Every structure is written in structure tokens, then in C-alpha cells.
Amino acid sequence: MQYQLSAPTILILIAPLVLGLSLYHLARACFPLQRRPKDISWIGREQGLLSAFRACLAQWQYNPAILEAGYKAFNKTGKAFLMPLISFEPVVILPQEHIQWIIDQPPTVLCPRRAAYSRMGVRYVAPGFTPATSEILHTAIKVHLNKKFDRLQPAMYDQLSWAIDRSFGTANCVSKVSLGDALRYAVYHTLVPVLAGRELAKNERFVEAIISSSQWFGAASTITGQCLPAPFRGVIGWVLQKPIGYVQRRYLAYLMPIVKERLNKLQEDSQVPEDMVTWLCQAILKTRGPEGAEGVFADAFNLLLGAAFTSTVLTAHHALLDILGSSEKAEIYQILRSEAESVFDGPAKWADPATVHRLGYIDSTLRESLRRAPPTSMALLREVVPRDGLALPNGQLLNKGSWLAVPSIPIHNDKRFYENAEQFKPFRFVQDGKSESCVSTSDTFLSFGHGRSACAGRQFATRILKMMLSYIVLHYDIEEIDGRPPNFFMGEHAVPPDVVVRVRRRA
């Protein structure tokens, strides 16, 4: 008697196989093998079933203490370790003594752009953006902004003083101010004349639109790049492109007519204002020509919003919270005020670029705040490029496609490099006759990166921050707060909490 399998029976037999294969391929996609070198030990991984998966899942709320534990357990003995992340793409964390080796490697061996393009989520929420667009932006910053912003300081001061007075108030009485909102308003309005043109300097609707755009872009890129497994990034990124596109079109409606006019004038060799709009247009025309120039400009400017505007706001916010939350707030504030009074002893000094370089205590305060809260907890992110992988200086092997970085927060908190590293000591970098500029990078100060890929716009951003902090301590009394409130993390980025402070304009 011949037995025939019924359709339900066949389905019952095949279904587990199909399901198993599907789950296997999904796991491979979510948890790519090239990101998990066999030679490298994990931190935070316990024994048992799906241990690596569970270690990554446990980082649904990023915990920098795990990074600190790995630094102590592995990095201090010269070994690398795997840092689990909720994206299920762990990063190989190298010891501090490997930093020089990292920055010595060419991009054909360790590529910073390829890693950042994915890890920062840009490729998912801004599909029109390419590494070539990033190069154009870097050219505009290095060739033009860094060499010409001395000429812009008088205009920057006029806008800065107006913006701070508007956000902190001018009444000679105590008022309550949201520190985060006030700094965001002041920073964006200060940067607009330089980065978007004087025509839009006091256009409130334009500034509201770029604030909204930078917040959407920053949150969306962080979520897709750092908080989602790879297979879901494309879909979620596509969904998020819709609201991002809407808020971007709001500010581009004001900006693009200016861009079109500048492009036309540059091609006619007519005189144009000196600002980032002009410099970006010049870089685009030189490298790409006029065809599609407006689209390239829009993509580059979107990245500029996050790189220049958002990071400057966060740094200013961290610094003021560190000062106001210190047990020595009164003494610190008075030292900063005395320095600002001596340097800016007349209105003309605000327009003199040389005066900013004399703000040693204010510079040190900003550097110390950046030491305590670097923009990202893992610096010098790179992707291994060679097909055969790469051997670390200690002999450990990495696969092609592996991501590596160094732990900036644990390095900044290492007592080998900083005395009383757990304390906020604002004048740490001007004591004992030594002076280290806020913009200087090293293998123990990684807030701006280090080496060839260090932040190109750090000189400009630091000048703005020094002028803003000087103006605030000179013209405002701000009551101290009850201790420095802890930061929270969005992805791997430390974000300061907003607080309401009591402020009074000095007579």
C-alpha cells in the first residue's frame, strides 16, 4: 500500500525548516559576523544561550559604565574588547596606547568616512548625501571658514550680543530662564549670519525652521544609525525621511533663493558676501560644476546644521551646567568675569580677533567641560578595509568590515592622565604655568577627535563659545543650581538635561 503525504503534513514538516532558515538569515543580517572578530573578548557578555544577543539587547538604554568596565578589564592591560550595542553591531574598543597607530593608518586601511556614514545614520535619513558631499563641506571649512572668520568677528559680536540679550533678558530684575532654550536661541542666531548669510540673521521663522530641522535630523540619524539592527534601518530611515524633508523644505524656502543668487554671481565673477553660503557654493562649483549645485548645497548644509549648530549648543550647555553646579561656582564665576572684564575692556575689543586668544581661563573651562562630556563616548571610529582583515599592534586580528574605536570617556577619566579626574576643575589647563588650548587634540583629549580626521571646524566653534561665555559672565548674574545634574545618553552621545535658572541682567 502506497502512503501519500497530505498537504497539511508536508506543511508541518517543511514549516520548521523554512522558519529556521529564515531566522538564521535574519540573525546573520541583524548580527553580521564581520563585526564580531573571534580573537576579541566581549565585555558584559554572560554565559548561556544567545549570550552575545542578550549582551547587545541589554544596551537598549546605552550604559557607559559597561564601556568603563571594559576599559579597566581589557584596555589597561593592552587588549581590545568588543562593546555590545543595541544595534547588534559591536565595536572593537582599542586601548589608549593604540591611538597613534590608528591615526597613522591611511583610509585604505582604516576608513573613518565609511564607518561614520553608517554609524551616524546619515545614509538612511539623507540618501542624497555622499562622502563626496562631506569632502565639499570640509573644503569649505578648511579653505575658507578657518582662514577668513577673523573678518567676520565684528558682525558675529553684534549678532551674539543681540541674541543673548533676547534670550536671557535685559530687565534689571530676577527672571527664570530655561537654560537649554536660551542657549539654543543664542547659538543659532549667532551662527546664522556666518553660516547662512546676513540676509537671514534676524528672521525668526528661518531660525525656528533650522532648529526644528537640526533636531529632527539629529534624532533620526542617531536612532537609525545607533539604535536599530541593520535590516530595519532602511525602512525606518525611509519613513523618517518624510518629516525630515518637510522641516528641511521650511528653511530651504528662505535659504535657496540666496543660494541661487550666489551661484549666479559667482559664475559671473560678481562681488558676493563673505559667508558659508558663498564658500560652499565656491567649493561646489570648483569640484562639481553648476549642474545639480543646488541639491549638493542642500545636502551639505543639512549636515552642517548638526555638525556646527547642534554640537555648539550642547557644548555651551554642558559648560554652564558644570559651572553653575560646581560647589565653587561663586569663585569660578568671578575669575571668569574678571578675565572677561580685563580682555574686553572696551567695545572695540569685541571686534578684535586677537582678544579671544587671551581668554586663558575661559578656554580652559571649555576644555575641561569637553573632557568631562565629550561629544561621543567612543572616538576615532574606523572601519577595517583590507580584504584579509587587519592585525592590531598586539597581534589580535580584526575582520574586514570590523568597526573599531577608542573609549573617550574612560580615557578622559583616567587618573594616569588627569589628576582628580572625577572632579570638574575648570582651570586645570592653565595651572602650573602650562596652557593647553581648547582646540588642541592629543591621545588623552579626544573631544574633537585626533589626527587627520579631527574636527575641521573646532577653531571657529571654540571662538563662538568663548565669546558667548565671556558675554554671559560679564552681563548676567546667574544663581547656582543644586549640584551638577547628570547627563542622559541619546545613542552614544551625552546630552545635558534642561534646567530653569534664575538670571539677572547686571546694571
Residue 24: per-residue pLDDT: 44
Domains identified in the chain, total number: 1
Return binding residues. Answer: 455
Residue 473 inside a domain? The answer is no
| Residue 345 within a domain | no
Contact 374, 412 (CB under 8 A): yes
Assigned domain for 44 exists: yes
Helix (H), strand (E) counts: the chain: 20, 13
Nearest residue to 444 (alpha-carbon basis) of 474, 419, 470 = 419
Check residue 37 and give its pLDDT.
77
In a domain, 101, yes or no: yes
In the block, cell 563641506 appears at: 137
Question: How far apart are the two ends of the chain, measured CA to CA in Å?
Answer: 106
Residues within the annotated binding site for heme? 455
Based on its alpha-carbon atoms, the radius of gyration of the chain, rounded to whole angstroms, reads 25
Segment 476-486, tens digit of pLDDT? 999 999 999 99
pLDDT of residue 25: 44
- Whole-number Å distance between alpha carbons of 77 and 59: 25
- 175, three cell numbers: 527672571
> What's the whole-model pTM score?
0.90
Regions in the chain scoring below 50 on pLDDT: 1, 5, 20-29
Could you tell me if residue 85 is inside a domain? Answer: yes
Distances (CA, A) of 131 to 114, 291, 355: 8, 18, 37
Q: What is the pLDDT of residue 475?
A: 96
Return the pLDDT at 180.
94
Residues contacting 408, CB < 8 A, separation 6+: 374, 376, 377, 378, 379, 446, 447
DSSP characters over 236-282: HHHHHHHHHHHHHHHHHHHHHHHHHHHHHHHHTT-----SHHHHHHH
Per-residue pLDDT at 376: 93
Spatial contact of 55 and 67, defined as CB atoms under 8 Å apart: no
Domain that holds residue 61: 34-110+379-413
Sorted by sequence, the CB contacts under 8 Å of residue 54 that are 6+ apart come out as 45, 46, 48
Q: Render pLDDT for 264-273 as a digit per residue (tens, 0 to 9).
A: 999 998 888 8
Q: Is residue 48 part of a domain?
A: yes
Residue 503, classed as helix, strand or coil, is strand
Report yes or no on 229 lying in a domain: no
Q: What is the pLDDT of residue 21?
A: 46
Question: What span, in angstroms and rounded, lies between the C-alpha atoms of 459 and 337?
Answer: 22
Residue 43 lies in a domain: yes
pLDDT of residue 116: 83
Kind plus residue range of the DSSP H or E element containing 469: helix 458-475
The DSSP secondary structure of 19-76, one letter per residue, reads: HHHHHHHHHHHHS-GGGS-TTSEESSPPSSTTHHHHHHHGGGS--HHHHHHHHHHTGG
